[in-house]
Amino acid sequence: MKNITTLGKVAEKVDELSRHCTDRMIPVQDIHFDDLDTVRIANEPHTLRPVAQQSIAWRLGIPIQYLRRCPPDMQAYNMNHWIKHERNEELFFRFTHEDVRAIFTPKYTPVDNFEIMERLDSLGYKPDTQVQCHLDPEFMSLSILEGQESFEIDGDRMTPGISLGNSEVGLASLSISAFVLRLICTNGMISTDGVAASYRHVSRKILEEFPEVMTRVGNELGKQKDRFRLSVESPVQNPAMTIESFNRRFGLSKHEKEAVEWGHMMEPGGRTMFEVVNAYTRASHFHGLSAESAHKLQKTAGMILSMLSPGGTH
C-alpha cells in the first residue's frame, strides 16, 4: 500500500496483514538450525524470513553477510554453536503463518500496527481521514494530513500533518514526527528535529502518552513554512554533487540512491535546496521501494531541510 488513501483503508490493510500473525516464547533448548533459511522448533521446521535471519544473526554475533556466503552446513554449524551461548532461557519469536518473521529477547514489548490504528480511532480520527501511507509486512509509515493548515511555497501547495513510523519486526522504533505533503506530486517530508518522539519497543508507554505526543508534534508544523521558504532562496551550484554527498552522509543503500536519482530527474529543473529536498521526497514513490526505505527517504529530506533553519548550516 502506498500514497494517498484513507485511515479506514489503512486499517483494513493492517488487519489483513496481521490476521495470521502470532507470537510465542520459545525455549532456547528447542531451537536448532538446518541452515540460515530454516529453523527447527521442537523438531518442527519453520522458514526464517530475511528480517528474522538478520535478527538472529545479530543475536548470535555472526555477521549476516558472512553467513550468507557460507554453504548450508557451515551456516548450521555456526548458528547451532553460538545458540548454545544464548544467555536467555527463551527467545521471543514472531510468526506469520508458520514462517518466523522476527526474533527478539524476552524484553521486547511489541506495539503492533493494529494497536496504533485503535489508538487513533479512540482519539477521534475518523475512517475517512485523509492520510499518506507506505505499508508492507515489515514497516508502516502513516502520515495524517491537516488540510486546514495548508500553505503555499513558490506556487506549490503544501499540507502539513503528523507522521507515524512503526516496525513490528524491529527495523525501527515507533516514532511520531511532523510531516509536510507537497500536493502537486504527493511528495512527503518528515521532520526530524524539535519535538519528534521515538519509543523503543521495551514498554507500552507510547500508547498512554499518544495524545500528548501528538499535540507536541503538531506544534512543530508551523516551523516548516520558514524552512521551505529558505530552501527556495538557497542556491545550489551543482545539485547532482550535493545529492551524492547527502547520499553518503545519510548512508543510503544502492536501491535508495537509485530512487533519489530517479526523483531528481522527475523534479523540474532548478538549482536550489528546494529541488534537492524534493528529489528525496519524490524518491519515496520509486517502484519496488520498501515502506521502510520510503520512510527513510522522507526523513532524509527532513534532515536536509532542518540544516536550513535559522542558525543552521547548508
> pLDDT of 110-156, one tens digit each?
889 999 999 999 889 999 999 989 999 999 999 888 766 677 777 77
Cell of 26: 520459545
pTM over 0.85: no
**311 lies in some domain:** no
62 lies in the same domain as 120: no
Give the containing element (helix H, strand E) for 44.
strand 44-47
**132 lies in some domain:** yes
CB atoms inside a 10 Å sphere around CB 158: 19
Q: How far apart are CA 121 and CA 292, in angstroms?
A: 24
293 lies in the same domain as 231: yes
137 lies in the same domain as 278: yes
Last residue of a domain, one of 104, 138, 156: 104
**231 lies in some domain:** yes
pLDDT at position 267 is 73
**200 lies in some domain:** yes
Domain count, the chain: 2
249 lies in the same domain as 150: yes
275 lies in the same domain as 197: yes
**223 lies in some domain:** yes
Cell of 269: 529543473
Mean pLDDT for 262-287 is 87
**274 lies in some domain:** yes
**7 lies in some domain:** no
* DSSP letter, residue 194: T
Radius of gyration of the chain (CA): 21
Range of the domain at 118: 113-306
**313 lies in some domain:** no
